[in-house]
Amino acid sequence: MKPGALIVLLTLAGLTACSQDSGPPVTVSNIRILAPLTQGGATVAYFVIDNKSDNSIVVNQIRSPQFSRAEMHESKIDDGISTMRRLESVTIAQGSMAAFEAGGKHIMLSDATAGVSPGTTISLEIHFDESLLIVSAAMQSRSSAN
Ligand SMILES: [Cu+2]
């Protein structure tokens, strides 16, 4: 294949193609879902989203079948006090990534729809633009999380 033809193919593939040789354009890695500190309490999930596509993407909703509420939050230290606010969306530039991690952006999960504990498989539905990525991981106990 000529180099020129390859570029055209990648452009056409855009965000929706999954069969191109370079792998999917948007990937999720380092998924960590922590068990609630207290039975039935809220908890957090972390991951990294890589946007290898040719366009910026906007993550506009997170859902989990195992929790009634899933929100994107961002922690900040204000005057020595840790606060967090809800993020309506997170924009990731082309070729860039967004890390949801302790002390920064995170996913807040609350109102579990059934009992959850370490080992429970938790799914996260990551909505961006018109696309959806579904990932899952086993819930980790807090003591083994670090
Ligand atoms: Cu939070």
How much is the pTM? 0.81
Residue range 86-123, pLDDT digits in tens: 999 999 999 999 999 999 999 999 999 988 999 999 99
Q: How many domains does the chain have?
A: 1
Q: Residue 9: inside a domain, yes or no?
A: no
User: Per residue, what are the HEC states of 78-90?
Assistant: ECCEEEEEEECCE
Is residue 63 situated within a structural domain?
yes
The CATH number of the domain holding residue 106 is 2.60.40.1890
Average pLDDT over residues 76-90: 93
52 C-alpha to ligand 1 centroid (Å): 27
CA of 86 to the centre of ligand 1 (A): 7
Judge whether 47 and 106 are in contact, CB under 8 Å: no
Which pLDDT tens digit goes with each residue over 3-28? 444 444 444 444 454 444 567 899 99
| Span from the CA of 43 to the centroid of ligand 1 (angstroms) | 8
